[in-house]
């Protein structure tokens, strides 16, 4: 890599971001294949197409910040620092899973990395995020919590209650709506009174904005100042990110409710391709580099899958563990 980089960003930063996004996509593809091979069951919601969002947001955070999400959270958990082996083992229902096989696809947790789940009730995580914001304020810390939700969760009453409390009490919660256009199979416009979900903040006098979620640099550039401001003066913020999932709602959804043209339109603005082009244009990497990295990531995932395959099933005796804390 002799060429002089033509970008304001650090070369290693861009390289690691790109690799992380590719890793996220390849991971989800691997998950899909494993599901199709019958290695695990249950619901399984993939993040493919939305990689720029979680990587872009995470790069604006620091490790002591908290994160909570809904049911589409494998790659968010990995971005937050969690070991992909623990995430995949969890999907396989194995003892090396991040919650020892008690959670599955929708319930990734890590106390160490302050990832508070992985929640399967649409919108249920939003007041919990307000509670974490409350605790941060109670303890007079300058951390924040990122609360991911989808366009579907935007119509849950609990979300409005959470927004009201967060605004009333100035809680440092960054609500991020990953608007991938569909709540399961329903175009959000068909069931929502506003055309832009950021407007949900207006009723609560909450600062808000929108950003293109198909472009890492746009997300990263946008979120950084928001977080910095929240740290200085705690108050909530509502960010709508426009993104798109290439796959169906879950692995069993053929997504017949949308046209192939629509999918192709978004794929034309693929966040990984976009960043790859930027890397090549700014001489950070060559096409060969990108191919090599892709190959390395695939090999790495083969190892991770072998690890998850080999991980033992939880012992039946663990069934009763953790119903209650001591």
Partner 1 sequence: MALIQFREAIAQAMAEEMARDDRVFLMGEEVAQYNGAYKASKGLLDQFGANRVWDSPISEAGFAGLGVGAAMVGLRPIIEMMTWNFGIQGFDQIVNHAAKMCYMSGGQFNVPIVFRGPNGAAHMLGSQHSQSFDAMLTNVPGMKVISPSTPYDTKGLLKSAIRDNNPVIFLESEMMYGLKGEVPEGEYLIPIGVGDIKRAGEHVTIIAWNKMLHVAMAAAEQLASIGVSAEVLDPRTLQPLDEELIFSSVRKTHRLVIVDEGWDFAATSAQISDRVQKECFDDLDAPVVRVNSLFVPMPYAEDLEHAVLPTAERVVEAVKEVLYVG
Partner 2 sequence: MALVIEMPKLSDTMEEGGIANWLKKEGEKIGEGEPLVEIETDKATQEYESPEEGVLLKILVQPGKAVALRTPIAIIGAAGEAFDLAALTGGGTKTAATTPAAASPTTSAVPPKPTAKPVGAVAPTQAAPVVVGRVKASPLARKVAAELGVDVSQISGSGPAGRVVLRDIEHRSGSGAAAAQSAQAQPAVAGAASTTIPVTMMRKTIAKRLLAAKNDAPHFYLTISADVTKLEAWRQQLNGAAAKAAKVGVAATKVSLNDVVILAASRALKVHPEVNSSWQGDTILQHAEAHVAIAVALPEGLVTPVIRRADALGLRDIAASVRDLAGKAKDGKLSNDAYAGGTFTISNLGMFGIEEFTAIINPPQAAILAVGAALPTPWVDEHGALVVQQRMKMTLSCDHRVVDGATGAKFLQTLVSYLEEPMQMLV
Residue ranges of alpha helices (H) inside 150-286 are 157-168, 216-232, 260-267, 271-281
Is residue 252 near partner 2 by the rule CB under 8 A? yes
User: Minimum CB separation from partner 2 for residue 219, in Å?
Assistant: 25
Helix (H, G, I), strand (E, B) or coil at 135: helix
- Identify which range of 52-60, 127-135, 224-232, 263-271 contacts partner 1 by CB under 8 A: 127-135
Distance CA 92, CA 102 (A): 11
Residue 99 touches which member of partner 1, partner 2, none, C-beta under 5-8 Å by kind: partner 1
Q: State yes or no: residue 132 binds partner 1 (CB under 8 A).
A: yes
Query: What is the spatial distance between Cα 109 and Cα 111, in angstroms, rounded to a whole number?
Result: 7
Least separation in angstroms between CB 287 and partner 1: 42
Does 131 bind partner 1 (CB under 8 A)? Our answer is yes
DSSP letter for 147, please: E
Please give the residues from 36 up to 55 whose contact with partner 2 meets the rule CB under 8 A: 36-38, 40-44
135 binds partner 1 (CB under 8 A): yes
> Contacting partner 1 (CB under 8 A), which of 109, 148, 175, 278?
109
Give the SS3 label for residue 149.
strand
Q: Which is nearer to partner 2, 141 or 295 (CB)?
A: 295
Are residues 128 and 146 in contact, defined by beta-carbon separation less than 8 angstroms? no
**DSSP codes of every residue in 201-219:** GGGGT-EEEEEETT-HHHH
Q: Does 325 bind partner 1 (CB under 8 A)?
A: yes
Q: What is the maximum alpha-carbon separation in the chain?
A: 59
Segment contacting partner 1 (CB under 8 A): 13-21, 27-35, 130-138, 261-269?
A: 130-138
String of contacts with partner 1 for each residue 148-187, x by CB under 8 A: ---------xx--xx-xx--x-------------------
Instruction: Give the Cα-Cα-Cα angle 301, 306, 310 (nearest 5 degrees).
Output: 150
| Closest separation in Å from C-beta 43 to partner 2 | 6
Task: Record the tokens describing residue 183, joined without a space.
Answer: 């709540």
Residues making contact with partner 2 (CB under 8 A): 29, 33, 35-38, 40-44, 250-254, 256
């Amino acid at each position: 890599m002799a060429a002089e980089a033509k970008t304001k960003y650090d070369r290693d930063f861009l390289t690691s971001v790109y690799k992380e996004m590719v890793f996220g996509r390849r991971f989800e593809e691997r998950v899909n294949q494993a599901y199709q091979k019958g290695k695990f069951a249950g619901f399984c919601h993939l993040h493919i197409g939305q990689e720029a969002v979680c990587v872009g947001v995470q790069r604006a955070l620091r490790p002591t910040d908290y994160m909570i999400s809904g049911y589409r959270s494998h790659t968010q958990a990995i971005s937050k620092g969690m070991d992909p082996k623990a995430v995949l083992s969890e999907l396989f229902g194995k003892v090396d899973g991040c919650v020892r096989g008690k959670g599955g696809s929708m319930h990734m947790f890590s106390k160490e990395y302050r990832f508070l789940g992985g929640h399967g009730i649409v919108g249920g995580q939003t007041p919990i995020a307000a509670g974490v914001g409350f605790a941060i304020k109670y303890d007079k810390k300058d951390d924040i919590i990122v609360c991911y939700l989808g366009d579907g969760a935007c119509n849950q009453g609990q979300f409005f209650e959470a927004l009201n409390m967060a605004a009333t009490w100035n809680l440092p919660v960054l609500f991020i709506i990953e608007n991938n256009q569909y709540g399961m199979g329903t175009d959000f416009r068909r069931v929502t009174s506003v055309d832009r979900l950021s407007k949900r903040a207006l009723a609560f006098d909450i600062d808000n904005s929108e950003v293109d979620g198909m472009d890492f640099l746009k997300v990263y550039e946008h979120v950084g100042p928001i977080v910095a401001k929240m740290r200085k003066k705690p108050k909530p913020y509502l960010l709508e990110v426009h993104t798109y999932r290439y796959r169906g709602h879950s692995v069993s959804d053929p997504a017949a409710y949308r046209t192939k043209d629509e999918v192709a339109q978004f794929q034309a603005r693929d966040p990984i391709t976009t960043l790859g082009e930027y890397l090549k244009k700014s001489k950070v990497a060559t096409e060969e580099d990108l191919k090599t990295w892709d190959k390395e990531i695939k090999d790495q995932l083969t190892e991770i899958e072998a690890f998850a395959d080999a991980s033992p099933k939880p012992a039946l005796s663990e069934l009763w563990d953790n119903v209650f804390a001591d």
